[in-house]
């Protein structure tokens, strides 16, 4: 199913405002380690600009997303 692309800072991303709201609610329910891993997983689904988009959306530092990615690489 094709989703209408949403414009964010000149980039296109597939999440609707409703999905973004659920992502934020879920993120706030997680512990710190799981937050890093969730943010990293979501960013990995997106193309160029994914880390910035997810860090802006979830109100976390880009290094949080990158730390989660590094933790996944070590496993």
Q: Where are the domains positioned within the chain?
A: 14-74
Q: What is the pTM of this model?
A: 0.80
Q: What is the pLDDT along the chain (75 residues), one digit of tens a residue?
A: 334 445 555 555 678 899 999 999 999 999 999 999 999 999 999 878 899 999 999 999 999 999 999 998 887
Ramachandran assignment for 39, one of left (phi > 0), alpha (psi -120 to 50 degrees), beta (any other)? alpha
Neighbours of 59 (CB within 10 A): 9
CB 7 within 8 A of CB 32: no
Nearest Cα to Cα of residue 66 among 58, 46, 44:
44
């Amino acid at each position: 199913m094709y989703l209408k692309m949403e414009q964010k800072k000149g980039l296109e991303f597939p999440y609707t405002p409703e999905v973004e709201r659920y992502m934020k609610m879920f993120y706030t329910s997680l512990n710190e380690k799981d937050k890093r891993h969730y943010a990293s997983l979501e960013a990995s689904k997106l193309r160029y600009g994914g880390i910035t988009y997810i860090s802006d959306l979830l109100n976390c530092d880009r290094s949080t997303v990158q730390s989660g990615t590094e933790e996944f690489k070590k496993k």
